[in-house]
Amino acid sequence: MVEGQNSRVRRRLIVHGRVQGVGYRAHVARLARAYSVAGHVTNLPDGTVEIEVQGPSRIVDQFIEQALAPSWPIHPGGIRRSEELPVDPKLGEFEIVRGSA
C-alpha cells in the first residue's frame, strides 16, 4: 500500500538541544493546537524532550518542521531518535505530560 500525503501517521521523536527550562513544551503544545494534531510532549531525565504526534502525514511533517525551528530562547539541536508507531484511534488532544526531569 502506498502512503498518501493525507494518510494518518503517529511518530515518536526525541529532541535534543536547549529544550528544557525554556518553555519548549508549551511552545510545542501551541503548535500542536494550531496544526490540530494529537499526542503529547514531555521532558526526559537526560535533558531531551519526547514528542509523540499523530495526524495526517503532511500535517505531521509540517508540525515537526516548526517544532524543530529555533525560537529564542528555544534552540532544538535536532532529532536524536525517531520512530513510527501504529496509529492509535483513541489518542485525543495534544497534552503536556509532566515528566520527572
Residue 8 annotated to the active site:
no
- Catalytic residue (one of 18, 25, 80, 81): 25
* CA dihedral of 84, 71, 46, 92, whole degrees rounded to 10: -40
- Catalytic residue (one of 10, 43, 80, 98): 43
Residue 43 annotated to the active site:
yes
State the DSSP string of 46-101: TS-EEEEEEEEHHHHHHHHHHHTS-BTTBEEEEEEEEEEE---TT--B-EEE----
> Grid cell 489518542 — which residue?
91
Just list the catalytic residues: 25, 43
